[in-house]
């Protein structure tokens, strides 16, 4: 369950959590045309708090809106400020941040017409997305019967609300069958991503990740790739198959919510030693040092604030 906070920023004003409501004829509720972001704020080593890669997330929100033909009625800077102020007003030293841009009530045809564009920002505490033990022990996943979107069927570079129907179906199927997460293949049968995470595999010291074809340009993915290269790893953006994943030495997911989550089993095949591998463990340590402000080499990725 989401832990309620005091306020939600809604169309430029702070409103009590329980009063942040919309009409049942809200266009996005019926047709799914909206965009959102997932962002994290961390309590850092010096006692301050910081949002991780705030500008990149907000820019991606605006890019997603542009792809869907939505004009956000605020600037990038106004949304960034609103995010920081929402964290402050809720007293969140550490939080998950969810900006959402959606089409309001008005026209009920498929074309949104002159329906208003609405924007809200909510913050709440969210621990390990895939479970408290997942970061250390790894998770079990299964290949979904649902295929990831074709690039010209849905706009795969937009973090669009409607795109996640695909994710919800795959996630429900996986959990019903006793797994933690679903692995999704692209329309050609290559490994794409999970329901909300990018994927990496390790084989003979080389790290591979799916290229930006049908997958979302993950900001954590980008951060890890920069980190891997700085640590001397060979990193390749290359299509790979499910059976290549089966025989990997390690595999792990990345994402704002998932952070760096090892995969210990895929389709009842044990990956590597069946637990977190040395590459994932090293990347976890380095990544958490960065987001908690303990590595000054990446200080530009942090926007600090104080409660």
Positions annotated as catalytic residues are 159
What's the CA gap between 140 and 181, in Å, rounded? 7
CB 117 within 8 A of CB 104: yes
- 69 CB contacts (<8 Å, ≥6 apart)? none
| b/e sequence 44-63, b meaning 16+ C-beta within 10 Å | beeeebbbbbbebbbbbbbe
For residue 99, count other CB atoms closer than 10 A to its CB: 24
Instruction: Determine the Cα angle at 218 with ends 90 and 270, to 5°.
Output: 105
Please state the separation of Cα 273 from the chain's center in Å. Answer: 27
Structure tokens at 242: 């499910």
- The neighbouring-strand residues paired with 201 are 208, 251
Report helix angle 54-67 to 76-89, nearest 10.
130
- Whole-angstrom Cα distance, residue 242 to residue 30? 35
Dihedral of CA atoms 170, 102, 302, 223 in degrees, nearest 10, equals 40
Residues 6+ apart with CB under 8 A from 13: none
Strands (E), 125-221: 139-143, 181-185, 191-194, 198-203, 206-209
Q: What's the N-to-C CA distance of the chain in angstroms?
A: 24
């Amino acid at each position: 369950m989401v832990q309620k906070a005091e306020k939600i920023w809604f169309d430029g004003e702070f409103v009590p959590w329980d009063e942040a409501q919309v009409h049942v004829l809200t266009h996005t509720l019926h047709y799914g045309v909206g965009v959102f972001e997932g962002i994290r704020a961390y309590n850092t080593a010096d006692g301050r708090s910081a949002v991780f890669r705030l500008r990149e997330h907000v820019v991606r929100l605006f890019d997603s809106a542009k792809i869907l033909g939505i004009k956000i009625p605020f600037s990038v800077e106004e949304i960034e400020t609103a995010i920081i102020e929402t964290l402050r007003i809720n007293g969140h030293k550490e939080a998950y941040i969810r900006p959402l841009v959606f089409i309001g009530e008005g026209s009920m045809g498929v074309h949104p017409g002159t329906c208003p564009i609405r924007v809200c920002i909510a913050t709440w505490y969210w621990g390990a997305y895939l479970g408290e033990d997942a970061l250390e022990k790894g998770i079990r996943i299964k290949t979904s019967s649902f295929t990831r979107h074709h690039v010209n069927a849905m706009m795969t570079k937009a973090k669009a609300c409607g795109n996640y129907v695909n994710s919800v179906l795959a996630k429900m199927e996986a959990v019903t069958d006793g797994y933690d997460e679903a692995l999704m293949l692209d329309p050609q049968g290559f490994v794409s991503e999970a329901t909300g995470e990018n994927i990496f595999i390790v084989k003979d010291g080389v790290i591979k990740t799916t290229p930006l074809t049908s997958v979302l340009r993950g900001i954590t993915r980008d951060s890890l790739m920069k980190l891997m290269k700085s640590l001397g790893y060979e990193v390749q953006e290359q299509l790979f198959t499910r059976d290549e994943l089966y025989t990997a030495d390690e595999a792990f997911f990345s994402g704002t919510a998932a952070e760096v989550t090892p995969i210990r089993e895929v389709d009842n095949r044990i990956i590597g030693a069946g637990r977190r591998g040395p590459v994932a463990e090293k990347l976890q340590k380095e990544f958490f040092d960065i987001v908690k402000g303990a590595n000054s080499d990446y200080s530009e990725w942090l926007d600090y604030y104080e409660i």
